[in-house]
Structure formats: structure tokens, C-alpha cells
């Protein structure tokens, strides 16, 4: 069996879709070494993989590992400046160290293949240094360039007309050469430190020539007439379907109610953004609202007084909650959206940071959601959107179609089948 390396961004939303892949690789007899943040050691080892800690790379998997000045600097930024800061600090800047860690592990025991998060150029650099193949795992929407799409992050609709192609080409040029010129320069400096040629790379132009795994279905993504043939839409890469769960005392209240679940994921935890406005918006509606704070300590006091038709918890496994849910209100985190759609549940979304505008825009296009296009929606807007989605069956039908497609996709098993094909087809000897 093969020696396989995994590298993921040390953030749970990036680690999560790699968990079922690691588990399936181990089940098939491969030895898997996984390089990621210390906060995820237990989860990594739970798949049967060997956990490998960063030595050169920046581990920001726990708040105490992030210098205070970095968080303070980030909190002062907004919009494009904040995106530039995040890319420089958490994705591009650390890649030199991540690549050195990969090369160290490869020296200890040569790896035959690497599976790498698409937000890290370290995977492509490791492949250049070793001559071994690498597989790119997209933990969000496809970020690959296309003639039909504006650059990732602008959340513009696809346009493959002649004028649309001109628009997209100009925006790509501005993005690479003006807006993110400093980031390309930083990546180039990292390549030089690794004794790689200067190419002025841009993060979202890096595409594995071997295999690109997308953790969604083709219908969720924008149409791409120039989609590379090595892209595989594996469907939602979900984990913890058998997670242990002790139901709260109010669990049976969900059995005979129209359940609306509201969540802000595990990072954007300020309840004033979406949780509290949704509780207020639906307080007099004929639904039962289940609010999850996403906090390990529960954080229920931060929600304030609950309306009579609301229940709250820090966390509830989706395998238990979603089968009882009719609609989800979310800020549009990619992994959460994929889990919801795999159950055929329509959504109302409200997100405008990180990749969320791109996720929400694609979901809106499928017909399975209403996008409020803000991180701070007014209760009246939430109420109107929830009523529309619950009253109009087209939203549920669109979500059901996506769920059917997800069920027919290969998931982690299909993804590992494709990885196996790369391993078999790649005949270059170890160097």
C-alpha cells in the first residue's frame, strides 16, 4: 500500500472535509500522515492517520497560538484590505514553512502522493521539489480560474458571453497585477527560499494537473465551459454520521413542529449578527426555532431570553438535527451548506465575509435558497424570507434535486478511487 501525506489549513472548516478521505484511505490499507494544527490531533488520529505537527509552519488552530497583535490588526480592517491580510497571514505567508514541513516528512519516509488543501500553494511546491503527484482538495467553491467567471471573492455571476469574457479577463488582470500584487511577490519570495524558480504565482491559478476534488455536486457550481478534465465533483464530504449524541430534554418538541434551524457556524459567533435577529423575527411564527451557538462552552446566555417557540444548544450533530428540520437559516459556511443540501433542506442565507458571498451566490442560483446578502439582516427581512421559502414548494424541490445528486455522487469513496487511479498511473520513481 502507499505512503500518503495530507496537508490542511489549520481551521476546522478545512480539516473537516479531509476527515472522511483520511478514514477511507486508512481503511484501504494506506499509511496516512496528516500535517495540520495541534487542535485537531484527536480528530486526525480518530481516522487512523498519523498526526504530524507543524515545526516550520504557522499553527493558528487555537486562539492562544495567534499573536495578539495579529488579531488586533485584523479587527481594524474591512473588505478588500481584510481579505488581503487574511491571504497574506494565514494562507500565503505560512506556505514556505508548510512546504519545509512536508519535505521533512518526505525525507523521513518518502511519500508517493500528497493530498493538499486548495488554499495552500505548499502542495504544488512540494510536488515540484519531489517529482511526486499531488491532489488538490477544494474545501469551498471551486477557486480555479475560468473564462466564464470573475476572480474568486467578487461574487459576480458567471458570464461566458464575449463581453463577459472581456470583463473576467480584465478583472483577473487587475486582481493579479494590482490588488494582490504584494501577495504574488510574497509567494515568489517563498519559492526562492525553497530554491524554486520565480514565477510570480497567484494562489487561485494553482491547479493540480493530476486530480482536483470538489466537495460538492456539479449542479451547485457555476457552469464552466473550460473546466479541467481532472476536476471530480465528489459530492459533500461529510463526517460524523454516527457521532454520539445525548438529546436535550426538549428534543421531543421537534417531533410535531415545523423546525427552523439557525446557525452561524463555529467562527462567526456574535449572536447579534444572525442568531438573535432570527429568534426575534420568528418569535410569533408557527415554527419551532432551534438555535446553535457553535461554541464549546454552549454560550447560551449570550442569546438573551428565548421566545416561547425557541430552543437553543451549543452544538447538535447534523445527523440528528437535520432529519427533523424544514428550513435552515445560515451565514453560508460551505461545509454546513453542503450538509444541509445533502438532506434536501432549503435555506435562507446571510453572509458577507470570507468565502460566504461566493457560496451564497451559487446556492441562490440553484433555486434552493433566498440570499439576504448581508451579515446583519433585519428581523423583518428574515421573517419575509422564511415565510417565502416555507410557502413556496419550489425551494424544497430544488434542494431535493441537489440531495439526489449528492446521494449519487461518490463521496469519500469515489474520491479515494480517483486518488488510487493517480497512484497507479504515476510511474515516476522516487527521487
Fold match between 3-235+409-425 and 251-408? yes
Cell 495567534: give the residue. 66
Residue 354: which region, alpha, beta or left (left: phi > 0; alpha: psi -120 to 50)? left
Q: Which residues pair with 296 in a beta bridge?
A: none
Please tell me whether residue 229 adopts helix, strand or coil conformation.
coil
- Rounded to the nearest 10°, the torsion over CA 321, 23, 121, 89 is 50
Q: What is the pLDDT of residue 307?
A: 93
**Residue-by-residue pLDDT tens, the chain, 431 positions:** 899 999 999 988 899 999 999 999 999 999 999 999 999 999 999 999 999 999 999 999 888 888 888 888 887 877 777 778 888 888 888 999 999 999 999 999 999 999 999 999 999 999 999 999 999 999 899 989 999 999 888 888 999 999 999 999 999 988 888 878 888 888 888 889 999 988 766 778 889 999 999 999 999 999 999 999 999 999 999 876 667 788 999 999 999 899 999 998 666 667 878 999 999 999 999 999 999 987 666 667 777 889 999 999 988 888 899 999 999 999 988 999 999 999 999 999 998 777 889 999 999 999 999 999 888 899 999 999 999 999 999 999 999 999 999 999 989 999 999 999 999 988 655 44
CA–CA separation, 11 vs 140, rounded Å?
Answer: 13
- Half-sphere exposure (CA, 13 Å, Cβ side) for 300? 11
Cell 457553535: give the residue. 294
**End-to-end CA distance of the chain, in Å?**
19
Q: What is the pLDDT of residue 266?
A: 60
Evaluate whether 287 touches 260 at the Cβ level (below 8 Å): yes
Q: What is the pLDDT of residue 19?
A: 95
Find all residues with CB under 8 Å of 185, minimum gap 6, and list them.
200
Domain residue spans of the chain:
3-235+409-425, 251-408
Cell 515516476: give the residue. 428
CA–CA separation, 176 vs 181, rounded Å?
Answer: 6
Cell 500518503: give the residue. 4
Q: What is the pLDDT of residue 39?
A: 93
Q: What is the pLDDT of residue 64?
A: 87
CA–CA separation, 276 vs 382, rounded Å?
Answer: 11
Other C-beta atoms lying within 10 Å of the C-beta of residue 95: 26
CA–CA separation, 181 vs 125, rounded Å?
Answer: 20
Indicate the pairing of strand 327-330 with strand 347-349: parallel
Find all residues with CB under 8 Å of 362, minimum gap 6, and list them.
141, 220, 221, 222
Name the CATH architecture for the domain at 3-235+409-425.
3-Layer(aba) Sandwich (3.40)
Q: What is the value of pTM for the model shown?
A: 0.90
Fold of domain 251-408 = Rossmann fold (3.40.50)
CA–CA separation, 259 vs 361, rounded Å?
Answer: 24
List the grid coordinates of 45: 488520529
Sign of the torsion angle spanned by Cα atoms 239, 315, 295, 333: positive
Q: What is the pLDDT of residue 353?
A: 73
Amino acid at each position: 500500500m502507499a505512503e500518503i501525506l495530507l496537508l490542511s489549513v489549520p481551521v476546522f472548516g478545512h480539516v473537516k472535509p479531509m476527515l472522511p478521505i483520511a478514514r477511507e484511505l486508512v481503511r484501504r490499507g494506506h499509511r496516512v500522515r496528516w500535517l495540520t494544527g495541534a487542535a485537531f490531533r484527536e480528530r486526525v488520529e480518530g481516522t487512523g492517520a498519523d498526526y504530524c505537527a507543524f515545526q516550520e509552519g504557522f499553527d493558528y488552530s487555537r486562539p492562544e497560538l495567534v499573536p495578539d497583535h495579529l488579531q488586533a490588526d485584523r479587527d481594524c480592517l474591512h473588505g478588500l484590505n481584510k481579505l488581503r491580510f487574511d491571504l497574506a497571514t494565514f494562507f500565503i505567508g505560512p506556505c514556505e514553512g508548510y512546504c519545509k514541513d512536508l519535505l521533512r516528512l518526505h525525507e523521513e519516509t518518502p511519500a508517493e502522493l500528497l493530498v493538499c488543501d486548495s488554499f495552500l500553494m505548499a502542495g504544488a511546491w512540494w510536488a515540484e521539489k519531489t517529482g511526486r503527484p499531488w491532489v488538490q482538495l477544494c474545501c469551498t467553491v471551486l477557486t480555479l480560474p475560468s473564462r466564464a467567471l470573475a476572480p474568486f471573492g467578487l461574487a459576480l455571476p458567471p458570464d461566458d458571453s464575449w463581453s463577459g469574457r472581456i470583463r473576467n479577463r480584465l478583472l483577473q488582470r487587475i486582481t493579479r497585477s494590482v490588488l494582490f500584487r504584494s501577495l504574488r511577490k510574497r509567494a515568489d519570495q517563498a519559492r526562492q527560499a525553497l530554491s524554486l524558480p520565480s514565477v510570480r504565482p497567484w494562489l487561485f491559478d494553482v491547479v493540480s494537473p493530476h486530480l482536483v476534488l470538489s466537495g460538492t455536486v456539479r449542479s451547485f457550481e457555476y457552469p464552466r465551459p473550460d473546466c479541467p478534465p481532472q476536476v471530480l465533483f465528489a459530492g459533500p464530504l461529510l463526517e460524523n454520521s454516527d457521532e454520539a449524541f445525548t438529546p436535550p430534554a426538549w428534543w421531543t418538541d421537534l417531533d410535531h413542529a415545523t423546525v427552523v434551524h439557525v446557525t452561524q457556524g463555529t467562527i462567526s459567533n456574535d449572536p447579534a449578527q444572525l442568531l438573535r435577529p432570527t429568534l426575534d423575527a420568528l418569535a410569533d411564527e408557527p415554527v419551532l426555532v432551534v438555535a446553535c451557538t457553535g461554541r464549546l462552552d454552549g454560550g447560551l446566555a449570550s442569546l438573551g431570553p428565548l421566545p416561547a417557540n425557541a430552543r437553543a444548544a451549543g452544538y447538535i450533530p447534523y445527523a440528528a438535527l437535520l432529519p427533523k428540520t424544514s428550513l435552515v437559516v445560515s451565514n453560508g459556511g460551505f461545509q454546513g451548506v453542503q450538509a444541509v443540501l445533502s438532506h434536501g433542506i432549503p435555506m435562507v442565507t446571510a453572509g458577507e465575509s470570507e468565502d460566504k458571498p461566493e457560496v451564497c451566490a451559487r446556492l441562490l442560483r440553484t433555486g434552493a435558497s433566498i440570499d439576504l446578502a448581508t451579515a446583519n439582516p433585519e428581523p423583518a427581512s428574515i421573517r419575509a424570507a422564511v415565510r417565502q421559502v416555507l410557502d413556496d414548494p419550489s425551494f424544497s424541490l430544488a434542494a431535493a434535486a441537489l440531495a439526489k445528486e449528492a446521494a449519487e455522487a461518490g463521496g469519500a469513496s469515489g474520491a479515494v478511487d480517483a486518488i488510487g487511479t493517480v497512484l497507479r498511473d504515476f510511474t515516476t520513481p522516487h527521487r
